[in-house]
Chain A
Amino acid sequence: MPLLDIRNLTIELDTPHGRVKALERVSLTINPAEIHGLVGESGSGRSLLARAILGIPGHNWRIQADRMMWDGHNLLEMSPKQRRNLMGSEIAMIFQDPSSSLDPVIVVGDQLIEAMPENKKLHFWQRAKDQKRTAEKWLHKVGIKDTQKVMSSYAWELSEGECQKVMIAIAVANQPRLLIADEPTNSMEAKTQAQIFRLLTKLNQLHNVSILLISHELETLSIWCDQLSVMYCGQIMESGPTSEIINQPFHPYTKALLNNIPDYSGLVQHKSMMKTLPGSAPALQHLPIGCRLGPRCPEAQKKCVNQPKLCHKKNRYFACHFPYHEEPCNDDATTTS
């Protein structure tokens, strides 16, 4: 049974320009103890999806889904209190903007301790000290050397990278079953990035933590992830085992992403244009109908004004009318929606 199973999740935002479907019929399956990569450009709704899974929607969101199952329980039918109980202990999240995700008037150490469970085996007068020791242990694990100083600092006294490490420590301290890492290493130097990814894989291997790794770097994700989902403009384009997707992408968008990874072999001519898809990602107010890649897609045809259904081939999923795949999708003929 998958740990998290989402079918046709749609999130609509109420904006001054009317209601916008920021996520449209997104499906995502995460199995226990897998690292699932979610790749997409910024603005493609990755963070919205993460927050919807965790259950901290904004006040102008409307969430609809065919199902959102967490370990056999329907998240949509849970009361806010039940979901709050899941947060932190079962599902944890590393936020994208670390320095603003930490309370500015409370020292960082207190916020870390606050997130950790109390060790019920100890007497209550021993607990505070024990928590402090555990907090320092976790900070050390995420690569902070001067733990005492960081714990007594305010968030704005730390650098962005340090804040991010603290956020990671807060998220992993409870050893959740699912860790949502929203660009966990975007403000770190390369060495620390590798350190953080190693920590995440270690958690995954030793404690069976499933990880949803959100990033825009396809190369990084392809190294660390077992499964990969590719998102564009709030729609899932393709999803499947990483190695298969890298070797043989079915979706034009995935193929374009892979082709457009800059190569540093020196064969590209100096000052030549870098390869990209024509055009740019549309703004939320001007989303194309049907497949949102349509206007930029090299394979697009008239049929693409209907959103393709996600079709299932062995362990691969893709949503395209004209995939790079010999057999047409079974559902494709009946797609009329």
Chain B
Amino acid sequence: MARYLLRRLNLFLATSFVLFIVLFIVTSHFPVEKSFALTGLHSPNAQQIEQIEKNYSLNDGQFSQFFSYLQQRLSGDLGISATSQRPVIEELASVLPASFELAAVSAMLALTLGIPLGVLASLSRHKITQHTIMAITLTGYSIPVFWLGLTLSLWFGVQLGWLPISGQLNLLYEIEPVTGFVLIDTLLSDSPYSTSAFIDALLHIILPAITLAVLPFTVVVRITRAAIITIMDQTYIKAAEARGLHTSRVVLRHALPNALIPVLKNLGLMLGPFASYAMVVEVIFAWPGVGAWLVSGIYQRDYTVIQGGVLAVALIIIFISIMIEVLYTAINPLSRKELYASN
């Protein structure tokens, strides 16, 4: 197992290295001066120019330039934002938690609703129930997320006026950020209105979370259903039934753990689309997350922000997909069998 973890770590480092190479090459193709693209300083004075040339080895060959670039980026220097003149890493730290919060809530929604519904769909004998669930999930799968976000905010936010449609928290509440996750911060806060602030934060997250959860939810339902249907025909399910176990016990204890394995695998594959959907959703609902921040950086030709955002998002996706793979190996005894064979 240690060897396996080491190999996964190696994969993470190698992929990240390739990512840095790509970013470096792209940076040199930005239609601005290289020192500006690297640091975000618009009109540096003579001393700053000298410092930049020294830091990024701009007068040397491409290789030493790349390693200087790598050194700067790894030491946490992402340059400063051209528009706000604040260090990019600071801005990144302030927007990342909001994105994580949204992603976590949607993923939880998708899994807690999707898996039971998938099981129900696979077990129901009625053709009508099955087809209804399948039709609904197919519809959800094919709805464009930007249209869904706008429509939901139009219905529930504007016409019905039930839910707020933009931002993370009403401006009335001033909550001291501790973890960066507003839902947790409002609970931790000792201000007299922390409960109402929590409810407000909850109301704010409903629409974006539902919009973002629709795609993974439909995928989870479909994969769970397909997996359970194949597994229910396996001999070990028949054998479990032959032991006189109740159907619910057979499904929950024997079929579901086996079915979750392909679900987990597909979650890893879904990360990329999920991240890009999250960006769209953040822009639609003015969610102060990394997606909205990155998109606004793109509009303003803020090259350091673009680099920082792409770097952060890509690193997170690489990391999480490797984590999902490790988790897959950890919870799936069958994959350890392959591990024994291959090592």
Contact = CB atoms under 8 A, between A and B. Distances in A.
Contacts of A88: 242-245
B242 A105 contact: no
B236 A102 contact: yes
Interface stretch (B71-79, B175-183, B253-261, B281-289): B253-261
Given A97-B235, A156-B337, A103 B258 contact: yes
B103 to A, nearest CB: 28
Given A84-B241, A87-B242, A88-B244, A104 B258 contact: yes
Given A105-B258, A105-B333, A154-B333, A84 B244 contact: yes
A92 interface: yes
A259 interface: no
B244 A101 contact: no
A52 B79 CA distance: 73
A102 B261 CA distance: 17
Contact of A89 (B235, B244, B258, B332): B244
A115 B234 contact: no
Given A89-B244, A154-B333, A156-B337, A106 B253 contact: yes
Contacts of B246: 84
Contacts of B242: 54, 56, 87-88, 92-93, 95
A154 B236 CA distance: 13
A30 interface: no
B334 interface: yes
A114 B334 contact: no
Interface size class of B (residues with CB under 8 A): 20 to 34
Interface string B230-249: 00011110111111111100
Interface in A61-103: 84-89, 92-93, 95, 97, 100-103
A59 interface: yes
A114 B245 contact: yes
A200 interface: no
Contact of A104 (B240, B241, B334): B334
Contacts of A51: 238
Interface in B295-343: 332-334, 337
Nearest to B336: A154
A157 B245 CA distance: 24
B236 A101 contact: yes
Nearest to A180: B242
A323 B333 CA distance: 56
Interface in A161-176: 167, 170, 174
B161 to A, nearest CB: 49
A84 B238 CA distance: 11
A177 to B, nearest CB: 13
B334 A156 contact: yes
Contacts of B254: 103, 106
A79 to B, nearest CB: 13
Contacts of B239: 93, 95, 101-102, 167
Contacts of A103: 236, 240, 254, 258
Contacts of A89: 244
Contacts of A58: 233
Contact of B332 (A86, A105, A106): A105
Given A104-B258, A105-B332, A105-B333, A114 B235 contact: no
B243 A56 contact: no
Counting chain A CB atoms within 10 Å of each CB, the highest count among B243, B246, B332 belongs to B243
Interface in B98-144: none
A93 B241 CA distance: 11
Contacts of A155: 236
A214 B66 CA distance: 73
Contacts of A115: 243-245
Contacts of B245: 84, 88, 114-115
B244 A85 contact: yes
A59 B230 CA distance: 12
A93 B244 CA distance: 11
B235 A87 contact: no
A114 B242 CA distance: 12
A162 to B, nearest CB: 16
Interface string A278-314: 0000000000000000000000000000000000000
Q: Which of B246, B247, B333 has the most CB of A within 10 A?
A: B333
Interface in A110-128: 111, 114-115
A64 B253 CA distance: 32
Contacts of B247: 84
B241 A87 contact: yes
B196 to A, nearest CB: 45
Contacts of B240: 103, 111
- Of B238, B239, B253, chain A has the most CB atoms within 10 Å of the CB of B239
Contact of A100 (B235, B243, B253, B334): B235
A114 B333 CA distance: 19
16 contacts: A56-B241, A58-B233, A84-B245, A84-B247, A92-B243, A93-B242, A95-B235, A95-B242, A97-B235, A100-B236, A101-B238, A104-B258, A105-B257, A105-B332, A114-B253, A156-B334
Given A100-B234, A167-B239, 6 more contacts: A54-B242, A56-B238, A101-B238, A104-B334, A111-B240, A154-B333
Interface of B: 233-236, 238-247, 253-254, 257-258, 261, 332-334, 337
Rank and list the top 3 A-B pairs by shortest CB-CB distance, nearest first: A88-B244, A101-B239, A87-B244
